[in-house]
Amino acid sequence: MTGPLLVADDLHLAFGPTRALAGASVEVAPGEVLALLGPSGSGKSTLLHCLAGILTPDRGEVRYRGTRLDDRSDEARSRLRRNDFGFVFQFGSLVPELTALANVALPLQLTGARRRAAEEQARSWLERLGVADVAGKRPGEMSGGQGQRVAVARALIGGPRVVFADEPTGALDSLNGELVMEEFTAAARDQGSSVVLVTHETRVAAYADRSVVLRDGRLTAAPAWA
Ligand SMILES: Nc1ncnc2c1ncn2[C@@H]1O[C@H](COP(=O)(O)OP(=O)(O)OP(=O)(O)O)[C@@H](O)[C@H]1O
């Protein structure tokens, strides 16, 4: 496709008296890794959630593949999240009761794949991310770095067009954070997924093709090093 895959156009969103977004606009190209940077409370997570159809802006439009996303029904947005999007969050991305293998297989099973086929693919994703040895473990039995890699495998297994990641390395030390980012961005690139990444760490943003900075709910000029 030509043109942006995902567009936020002049988004405004308030939580009571707090203006989280105040005219935020951004575009994401197909296959692009985009970092959203900015100080705490600047609206990064809120913008990410609007782009992913999790939150609805009070004003402005979100367009995905040329059509509006923000005015679709809850059910249509859930379907889109299941079929087209993958998610990696800092904490709690994995289902605690399920093994790593079952967690990674879950998105395929939710879209109708048989368990055996889903688990076969899940195993190869765990291998690719270097965590095949934790296939039978539950999230509480893994290290932070292992858990994040399993979460990345789960986000990518369905071949999403867009992966949304909110502070994906926030719980990791810097070496593990870099390993996860390397594997994450390489795997996303291999299958042509776009990645929208929220971070406040410049070393994480360095893995992105482009960085934008939010301040007080809107984008400011990119930093000189980006
Ligand atoms: N559910 C909510 N209810 C009330 N206020 C909220 C809610 N979510 C966000 N906010 C407020 O909106 C503003 C933007 O929050 P947001 O989480 O988007 O910022 P952020 O840049 O991601 O911050 P951080 O880096 O600290 O995660 C903040 O002032 C925050 O307190």
Q: What is the ipTM of this complex?
A: 0.96
Regarding the beta carbon of 91 and ligand 1, being less than 6 Å apart is answered no
Burial of 2 (0-12, 13-18, 19+ CB in 10 A): exposed
DSSP state of 89: E
pTM as predicted: 0.90
Confidence of residue 134 (pLDDT cuts 50, 70, 90): very high
Length of the chain counted residue by residue: 226
Share of the chain above pLDDT 70, in %: 96
CA distances (Å), 92 to each of 24, 139, 148, in order?
Answer: 28, 9, 10
Q: Which atom of ligand 1 is closest in space to residue 49's alpha carbon?
A: 18
Residue 145 lies in a domain: no
Domain membership flag for residue 85: yes
Confidence at 222, pLDDT banded by 50, 70, 90: low
Per DSSP, 36 falls in state E
Q: Is residue 154 part of a domain?
A: no
How many A from CA of 74 to the centre of ligand 1? Answer: 22
What is the spatial distance between Cα 134 and Cα 147, in angstroms, rounded to a whole number? 9
Residue 91 predicted with pLDDT over 70: no
Q: Establish if 112 belongs to a structural domain.
A: no
**Is 78 a domain residue?**
yes
Confidence category of residue 26, pLDDT binned at 50, 70, 90: very high
What pLDDT shows up at residue 182? 86
Token pair in block for residue 161: 């067009």
Average pLDDT over residues 97-120: 94
pLDDT of 180 over the 60 cut: yes
Count of domains forming the chain: 1
- The domain of 35 spans 6-94+160-220
Least confident of 58-62, 102-106, 130-134, 173-177: 173-177
Is 89 inside any structural domain?
A: yes
- Amino acid 51: pLDDT: 96
Q: Is 45 within a domain? A: yes
What's the gap in Å between 43 CA and the centre of ligand 1?
A: 6
CATH number of the domain where residue 26 is located? 3.40.50.300
Q: Let me know if residue 118 belongs to a domain.
A: no
Angle between helix axes 100-110 and 115-128 (nearest 10 degrees) is 130
**For residue 25, pLDDT beyond 70:** yes
Beta pairing partners, 8: 26, 62
User: Ligand 1 centre from 89 Cα, in Å?
Assistant: 15
Ligand 1 centroid from CA 38, angstroms: 12
As a whole number, mean pLDDT of residues 77-90 equals: 89
Contact call for residues 12 and 23 (beta carbons, < 8 A):
yes
Main-chain phi, psi angles of 70, to 5 degrees = -70, -20
- Is 20's C-beta closer than 6 angstroms to any atom of ligand 1? yes
Q: Indicate whether residue 217 lines ligand 1 (CB < 6 A).
A: no
Does residue 226 register a pLDDT over 60?
no
DSSP string for 138-201: -GGGS-HHHHHHHHHHHHHTT--SEEEEESTTTTS-HHHHHHHHHHHHHHHHHTT-EEEEE-S-
CA distance 62 to 189: 24
**Averaged pLDDT, 115-141:** 94
